[in-house]
Amino acid sequence: MDYRNLGRVGLKVSPLCLGTMNFGPRTPQSEAFSIMDNALEHGINFIDTADVYGGGETEEIIGRWLNQGARKRDKIVLATKVYGGRDPWPNATRLSALHIRAACEASLTRLQTDHIDLYQMHHIDRDTPWDEIWQAMEVLVLQGKIIYVGSSNFAGWHIAQANETAAERNFLGLACEQSLYNLTARSVELEVLPACQAYGMGVIPWSPLAGGILGGVLPIGTGSTASQGSARRTSKDLEDRVRLIRPQLELWEALCHDLGSAPAQVAIAWLLSNPAVTAPIIGPRTLDQLTGVVAALDLSLEPEVLEKLDTIFPGPGGPAPEAYAW
């Protein structure tokens, strides 16, 4: 496994991050345990979750897995998130110092650990000043309850504002940003990725397969490498999304077929070809899905293939402002 630094910090993570959103709601505990065991065997040491996944059940499953011993906690980089929640009381969500403290304690309990390696703000909170947020994070660092702080779903100017305020406080600031990024969603190339690179932050793309549509969804016989299982999907949402970009998907799956690689592997390899990207988040529901995606680490895309992908799924044209100005 070719481990890499999480941005400018010394923390080493695998080039794939195991996402756990399905654990509990869609993947039972026994299979979730098998997926995490198998990921660790493949050298994946980066596990991402959130306090809202499964209403807290996902963190509990991970906590029970960690509690099995075998130094599992020592071997992984454990990341979770703070922001949301289902509690109707006004201070039970967002990024007030009060909620950050309470949410961290609750996550530590569910995860059965004494510290969180990477504590990520799940969303921007426009109502809470950065000094309050950073003070709360600083306290958690001093208490040894968190080590690094990250962001998720931030705009470029949020990243700049957060890091500049942290610098004024002589605090490390953001170690990484977790953004929606895949071949069909490339807007982060305008300002988010350049901001992350400027501040030395890692980038952790979520939904690298665009909710499944880049994983091979067209019927057999159209140049697709899709399995019968994916060809028979009947999700109305998936059908609607496929219908909107079907011509692109036909070209995409034909190209993957010509490469002799599964679409999911090519989609992950495309992200990893970007030097700004640290580790795409893979969210397997089953052990077979995990095994298939891990093979993307052995796939290197030639420049001409990257050019073809840019033609099929055009990006914004580069970073701002050059992408839209002279």
Residues known to be catalytic: 53
Among 170, 169, 176, residue whose Cα is nearest residue 197:
176
Residue indicated by tokens 């075998």: 70
Residue 183 in contact with residue 155, Cβ under 8 Å? Answer: no
Helices (DSSP H) in 143-245: which residue ranges? 156-168, 192-198, 228-231, 236-244
Burial class (CB in 10 A: 0-12, 13-18, 19+), 302: exposed
Q: What angle do CA 202, 205, 208 make, to 5 degrees?
A: 155
For residue 215, give the DSSP letter.
Answer: S
Q: What angle do CA 118, 121, 123 make, to 5 degrees?
A: 150
d(CA 326, CA 151): 31
* CA distances, 179 to each of 62, 121, 146, 265, 284 (Å): 23, 12, 21, 19, 18
For residue 13, give the DSSP letter.
Answer: E
Q: What type of residue is 54?
A: G
d(CA 50, CA 80): 5
Q: What type of residue is 7?
A: G
- Print the SS3 string covering 43-78: CCCEEECCCCHHHHHHHHHHHHHHCCCCCHHHHCEE
What does DSSP say about strands 12-13 and 4-5: parallel, antiparallel, or unpaired?
antiparallel
Q: What count of other Cβ atoms lies within 10 Å of the Cβ of residue 147?
A: 18
